[in-house]
Amino acid sequence: MRKSLYETDEAIMEGIRNDDERALAHLYKLHFPMISHFIINNSGTDDEAKDIYQEGVIVFYEKIKSNSLELSCQIKTYLYSVCRRLWLKRLAEKGRYANRIEDSENYLSLEEDVPQHEENERQFGVMAEALDQLGEPCRTLLEDFYIRAQGMQDIVEKFGYTNTDTAKNQKYKCLQRLKKLFFTSYKPEV
Amino acid sequence: MFDHRIYEQIERYLAGTMPAEEKAAFKALLLTDPRLADQVQEHRQVLQAMQHYGQRQQLRHKLNSIHTEMETGSKTVTSELTAWKVFFKKHAQTMAVAASVSLLSVFGTLWSVQQMKKPVQQQTARYIELRREVEKIKKEQRAIINGIASADAAAPAPRSARFSGTGFAISPDGYIVTSSHVIQGADSILIENKAGLKYKVTEVHRNTEYDLSILKVEDPAFAGFSKLPYTFKTASSDLGERVYTLGFPREDIVFGEGSLSSASGFEGDTTSYQISIPLNPGNSGGPLLDEKGNVIGVINGKQAGQEGAAFAVKSSYLLQMVSQMREREAGLAISLPQQNNLGGVSRTQQLKKLQDYIFVVKVYN
């Protein structure tokens, strides 16, 4: 990886916008030590650090992808702020209140970005659960069709249906169930 | 009642791949059929959630692979630096306080040491030249007057002199002597006596060593002073001799009396006498006379913080200066008075006679 390519924040953001995986990898590696140190210093573990950091990167990534990021500081500060907030929340959930957080960086309060992310997380949680309850082969069928966007013909062959009509019918039934499962536990807070 | 064909229709509608007329028909149907509209809404949500979910899974996967790649790679994390940063963050405030306290104490000590030194400085001998800063005094006076009655605004007065001192005639030809420091940095010099005679003068000779300057009247209409009543003493005067001076420490002429208290001046300066006459700025350049009306010196300064210690340059040095002038310019018309008219006359009579030959020296710059 040529490091010089992503030396500035702008270059990294541009890279992410253009779906450049190297930009993401570079960003990830660049700031992980900072967050890892922060979490471990504030009564966290390596795994928790990884978890929180990934969430933080996801928030950042999705903000860039949806073009709704108005960065008024360095990426570093933004990530630190997001992760700090997420970690405080995590600590609160664990019932451990951090009375004294040891900061190594300056941070922003980020009133809007994190709650939006939490709402998304909740939705994904529900979706994951619904998909789990759906069971096979419905789950794979739907994932193949909607997420991996495979053609009907491929699916017919993969699952051994007699024709596309049967597959479509099966897919319809599966989707019907998924919807039921999803909406019983998820009410959008809009 | 819904079957997969309707689902297909909804999906095509959401994906926007419907032909125009079918789309229009479907839209119309949506308006009339709220159940179908709900269905479409739900369908959209589920699909979006699922797609987002898929993307998220992918992203997570990607990040995980980056993470493992990173972990297998270099394990050396720069935690030394961050540890230092945490330490700094934690103690930044304390450090700032400590720094400001130390700064404060350093400068406080310096200042207080300075303050303690001040009285000591006052005790050390300091020489004060007695030239008067007219503007300053005037301003202060004006401020006081304005404070008393601010009603009448002062009309723009003619420019007044910046400094003033005293001078006296040494020759009827229009030569006047004063202290060099009085006319230091002067643009133009004006002299004026008690009778109101005013002359413009220029400096013709200076000796900074003795702090003496000789001025000459420039006025073409000037016909010369009348005969001078006093003479200059060449020999040294004795200790304890009664001496007096006339000068202009303020607008009017002021008489001061005392005695010759030492044959040497400031810090053992043998060119001058120490005299015990209370003097003020403006007295510089005034004549120092003995009882018989001989000029024995030229007033030029006093010692700060010491009562009754004023100094006057001995008249012999003045005479020496005059002879220097004569040497330099042959045929110079400068005739020193030879006859003393003040001997045996009462002090008040002496002063009356003297008055006309003593001038206030006004310095403009």
Specify the pLDDT at position B213. Answer: 92
Asked if B60 lies within 8 A of A179 by C-beta distance, the reply is no
Please indicate, yes or no, whether residues A73 and A143 belong to a single structural domain of this protein: no
B-chain residues near A189 (CB < 8 A): none
Q: Which of A81, A108, A135 is the last residue of a domain?
A: A108
pLDDT (tens digit per residue) in A152-182: 777 777 777 777 777 777 777 787 777 777 7
Q: Per the domain annotation, does A103 fall within a domain?
A: yes
| For residue B172, cis peptide bond before it (omega within 30 degrees of 0) | no
CA-based angle A52:A55:A59, to the nearest 5? Answer: 140
How large is the angle between the packed helices A75-93 and A21-41, nearest 10 degrees? 50
Residue A90 lies in a domain: yes
Question: Is B76 among the domain residues?
Answer: no
Flag if A102 and B78 touch (Cβ within 8 Å).
no
* Contact assessment for residue B224 and residue B335, using Cβ atoms and an 8 Å cutoff: no
Assess whether pLDDT exceeds 90 at residue A21: no
A7 vs B54, higher pLDDT: B54
* Percent of chain A at pLDDT exceeding 90: 0
Same-domain check for residues B211 and B280: yes
Structural domain harbouring B312:
127-150+159-365
As a whole number of angstroms, the distance between CA A148 and CA A132 comes to: 17
Place of tokens 């998304």: A120
Which CATH number is A176's domain given? 1.10.10.10
Whether A119 and A69 map to the same domain: the answer is no
Residue A101 and residue A144 in one domain? no
Say whether both B284 and B358 belong to one domain: yes
ipTM attached to this prediction: 0.73
Residue in B46, B54, B60 closest to A147 by CB: B54
The per-residue pLDDT for B153 is 45
Residue A143 placed within a domain:
yes
B146: left (phi over 0), alpha (psi -120 to 50) or beta: alpha
Domain end residue (candidates: A108, A129, A147)? A108
pLDDT the model gives residue B151 = 47
B163 within a domain of the structure (yes/no) = yes
B90 contact residues in A (CB cutoff 8 A): 102
Q: To the nearest whole angstrom, how far is the Cα of B1 from the nearest Cα of chain A?
A: 12
Q: Does B86 touch chain A (CB under 8 A)?
A: yes
What burial letters (b/e) apply to A30-54, b meaning 16+ CB within 10 Å? ebbbbbbbbbebbebeeebbbbbbb
Q: Do B56 and A146 touch (CB under 8 A)?
A: no
**Chain A residues lying within 8 Å of B15, measured CB to CB:** none
Would residue B49 count as lying in a domain?
yes
Same domain, yes or no, for B60 and B99? no
More confident residue, A60 or B158: A60
Buried b / exposed e over B99-113, threshold 16 CB at 10 Å, is eeeeeeeeeeeeeee
Cα separation, B249 vs A58, whole angstroms: 89
What is the distance between the alpha carbons of residues A67 and A14, in angstroms, rounded to a whole number?
Answer: 11
Residue A190 in domain: no
Domain ranges, residue A160: 114-185
Residues B134 and B90 in one domain: no
Domain presence at residue A84: yes
Q: Are residues B116 and B139 in the same domain?
A: no
Whether residue A37 and residue B45 make contact (CB cut-off 8 A), yes or no, is no
Distance CA B344, CA B293 (A): 9
Disruptive mutation site among A54, A107, A150 for chain B (greatest number of B CBs within 10 Å): A54
Q: Could you give the angle at which helices A46-65 and A113-134 cross, rounded to 10 degrees?
A: 100
pLDDT of residue A190: 44
* B340 shares a domain with B301: yes
Same domain? A83 vs A10: yes
Interface check for B49 against chain A (CB to CB < 8 A): the answer is yes
Do A41 and A127 fall into the same domain? no
Answer with the residue of higher pLDDT: B320 or A66: B320
The last residue of one of the domains, among A59, A88, A108, is A108
A161 in the same domain as A88: no
Per-residue pLDDT of chain B (365 residues; tens, 9 = 90+): 456 667 777 777 777 777 777 777 777 777 787 777 777 777 777 777 777 788 888 888 888 888 887 777 655 555 566 677 778 877 888 999 999 999 999 999 999 998 887 765 555 567 777 777 776 666 666 666 665 655 444 444 556 778 889 999 998 888 999 999 888 888 889 998 888 888 999 988 888 888 899 999 988 888 888 888 999 988 888 899 999 999 998 888 899 999 999 988 888 888 899 999 888 888 889 999 998 889 999 998 888 777 778 899 999 999 998 888 888 887 777 888 888 888 888 889 989 888 889 999 998 87
- How far apart (Å, rounded) are the C-alpha atoms in residues B121 and B305? 10
Structure confidence at residue A18 (pLDDT): 81
B52 touches chain A (CB under 8 A): yes
Are residues B344 and B219 part of one domain?
yes
Q: Is there a domain that residue A73 lies in?
A: yes
Same domain, B294 and B227: yes
pLDDT at A123 over 90: no
Contact B53 A120 (CB under 8 A): no
> What local confidence, expressed as pLDDT, does residue B1 receive?
40
Contact state of A124 with B45 under an 8 Å Cβ cutoff: no
Number of domains in chain A: 2
Count of domains forming chain B: 3
Residue A102 and residue A8 share a domain: yes
pLDDT in the model for residue B121? 55
Residue B87 contacts A, CB cutoff 8 Å: no
Which chain B residue has the Cα nearest residue A21? B62
